[in-house]
């Protein structure tokens, strides 16, 4: 071992190197976590938009179904009135 490298210098260097690597690792993890969080926010916004669009489509289908059922109810009512009227004339 060279004369200028003592145990104290070696320990100080190792502490500095571990601190620098630890800080770099923590910085990398924070950077990745922020990127994942940003992607999740974008995904959530897109999902909310698609859910709202599905809700609007479902509402329009419900309105069409209610209108169709109402038309059938009117036809059935007319048929029942016609049947009652024709039974009364027999």
Q: Write the pLDDT tens digit of every residue in 14-68.
A: 999 999 999 999 999 999 999 999 999 999 999 999 999 999 999 999 999 998 8
**Confidence at residue 41, expressed as pLDDT on a 0 to 100 scale:** 95
pLDDT at 90 over 60: no
Q: 73: which 2 tokens?
A: 């109810």
């Amino acid at each position: 071992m060279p004369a200028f490298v003592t145990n104290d210098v070696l320990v100080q260097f190792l502490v500095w190197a571990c601190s620098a690597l630890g800080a770099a690792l923590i910085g990398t993890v924070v950077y990745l976590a922020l990127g994942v969080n940003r992607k999740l926010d974008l995904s959530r916004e897109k999902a909310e938009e698609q859910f709202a669009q599905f809700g609007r489509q479902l509402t329009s289908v419900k309105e069409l179904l209610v209108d169709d059922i109402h038309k059938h109810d009117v036809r059935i009512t007319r048929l029942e009135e016609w049947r009652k009227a024709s039974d009364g004339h027999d």
